[in-house]
Structure 1
Amino acid sequence: MKFSTVATAAASLLATASAHGGVGVYTIGTTAYQGWQPYNSASGQSSIQRQYASFNPLMIPDLTTVNIRCNNAGILGTGLNAAVAAGATIKTKWTQWTHRPAAIMIYMAKCPSAGCNNWDGAGKVWFKIAHQGLVSGTQNAGKWAGDQITDTLEWVVTIPASLAAGEYLIRHELLALHQANNPQFYPECAQLTVSGSGTASPPSSALVSFPGAYSASDPGVNFNIDSDAAKTATTYPIPGPAVWNGSGSTSPTDPEPSVAPPAAPTTLVTSAVAAPTTPPVTCTPVAKFGQCGGKTYSGCTVCATGSTCKANGDYYSQCV
């Protein structure tokens, strides 16, 4: 009985670990940019996404550390930016995700004139361009934004059409709320070069820093999904600032997620290039039933059209 109990607990821990994930691919138009592969060697990896070590969550003690910014201790870029026009969409695809409920928050930060690659994102420079938490029903039993990612692994966000051109960091963050008063934060950052004729920048009142944007006492952080209040409440106080609406003000409302996907990707960017003028490097999508991931895997992680990369333990993922 004791062995059985230990085995059951170990299986439970493994299932919990496999439920985590991170953004694996960013798609802009017909170009797909490979995300960081945390369980592979950092040697030789180049991505628009900042390096991070694992799919493990950040918890309340991490809110006061630099790790909460981009899920690392201030590691800089690898030399790759993604080109995107103001007003265009970015579709993100997570490697895996099963946590319910969850909120999503998306931030940007304008990089210095020298660019993003050697800048760590410090300071009161981050502004929120989208967020969504509880969509309908009660906190305890309703529909949440994270359900869409659990079901499809995808989310689409629009870059503010009025945003001034330049280099920016974009920060996608999932906030898993399944543990009472102990939420799990999953942030990742990537580098963008925004083009267009826009001239708008968010006001100082819309800017926050990481760490600093969240506190353990925030109602959306100090939150118990199983409380009596959660069984009747029909709104959820999303942590952080209001969404910047592209003008001189912020919007307190929760925008609906964009559901119109960009065109199917034709190019996968997997190594460092001088964006946006140098042609991207490509890899051939993996055929159905082929390996597409795992701790020791170093090949292409995008599946051919019609199949999706699914994890089967830490060391093997397959296109199915």
Structure 2
Amino acid sequence: MQLIVPTYLLALAAMASAHTTLQYVNDNNAIVRPPPSNSPIVSVSDSNIACNVNGGTAKSSKLNVTAGGSLTLEWHHEGRTSQAIDPSHKGPVLTYLAKVPNALTATSPSSLSWFKIQHDGATFSGTTATWAIDKLNSNGGKYSVTIPKSIPSGDYLIRSEIIALHGASSVGGAQFYMGCAQISVTGGGSASPATVKFPGAYSSSDPGILINIYYPPLTSYTIPGPAVFSG
């Protein structure tokens, strides 16, 4: 019994160190709605898959961004000097927006209508894959997105998501990490992108969610969710 306890604790530590949270948008953490922990959502039907549990809790400030401009989103599994996520956690990185009347008071993210503005899955050289998570880690946990120039001005929640696929060969094995932040878009247009709901945008049997990324070796990957709205 004396040997079991430390082994169990080491396993827990390894699991925790592999997890991750969205921490900054343009070096600003006052606009990010932090989840209660760095643990993932594991069911596509979980109502918390929109913005995680605390994603419905508004912050007191928002970030102004010009339509057509870019944002840098930053992920870490602990503090800012840590890696974004354990390198074994291969998978895509995706970004969504939802229009809200006021980002400072918006609640119930699962009731919002979301449209995708970015996704990055994997690039292949034969059967050797470079995943979006690999690029995220090599870039210090940061990636950039462009706010579509044609979307209406006003307040939005931005939803950044990592899907870790190392255990995704069975239903419920994929790990969904998401973080939401509060932004206000200026100089926009009048586009009306097609939207999805969370939950609802993904199925547990989607080929980009229920997948063995190890065998047989992959030569392609289908990113889950809707098409990217280019704007």
Q: TM-score, normalised by structure 1?
A: 0.64
Q: Deviations over 1:215-257 (max 9, x none)?
A: 11111111112232xx0x32111111010111xxxxxxxxxxx
1:235 aligned partner, one-letter code: S
1:156 matched to 2:144? The reply is yes
2:38 maps to which of 55, 60, 71: 55
| In 2, Cα distance between equivalents of 1:74 and 1:56 | 14
Number of matched pairs: 218
Contact 1:124 1:207 (8 Å CA) reproduced:
no
SS of residue matched to 2:10: helix
Residue type of the alignment partner of 2:220: T
* 26 and 122 in structure 1: CA distance in 2 versus 1, 3 angstrom threshold: same
Q: Aligned pair in 2 of structure 1 residues 197, 131: CA closer, same or farther (>3 Å)?
A: closer
SS in 2 for 1:238: coil
Partner of 1:65: 46
Aligned residue number for residue 135 of structure 1:
123
Report the Cα offset of residue 74 of structure 1: 6.1
CA contact (8 A) 1:66 1:74 kept: no
CA separation of 1:191 and 1:73: change in aligned 2, threshold 3 A:
closer
Aligned pair 1:33/2:28, yes or no? yes
**Structure 1 segment 261-300 matched on structure 2, within 5 A:** none
Distance (whole Å) between structure 2 residues aligned to residue 193 and residue 149 of structure 1: 25
Equivalents in 2 of 1:67, 1:11: separation in Å? 28
CA RMSD of aligned residues (A): 1.9
CA pair 106-74 structure 1, distance change in 2 beyond 3 A? closer
Residue identity opposite 1:13 in structure 2: L
Provide the C-alpha distance between the structure 1 equivalents of 2:6 and 2:73, rounded to a whole number of angstroms: 36
Q: How much has 1:76 moved relative to structure 2?
A: 2.9
C-alpha distance in 1, partners of 2:146/2:55? Answer: 26
Structure 2 distance, partners of 1:5, 1:138, is 42
Unaligned runs of 5+ in 1: 35-46, 247-320
Query: Offset at 1:5?
Result: 5.1
Q: Structure 1 residues 235, 186: CA separation in 2 closer, same or farther (over 3 Å shift)?
A: same
Q: 1:57-116: CA deviations, max 9, x gaps? A: 1102xx21221000116623122111001111111121231143121010001113xx12
1:189 aligns with 2:198: no
Structure with bigger gyration radius: 1
- Is 1:168 the equivalent of 2:156? yes
Q: 2:192 aligns with which of 187, 198, 201?
A: 201
Tell me, in whole angstroms, the C-alpha distance in 1 between the residues paired with 2:182 and 2:124.
Answer: 33
Cα 1:74–1:93 change in 2 (3 A) is closer
Aligned letter for 1:78? K
Gaps of 5+ in 2: 78-84
Query: 1:200 deviation in Å?
Result: 1.9
Range with greater deviation from structure 2 (92-101 or 206-215): 92-101
Correspondence for 1:242? 227
Within the candidate set 88, 96, 105, 2:69 is matched to 88
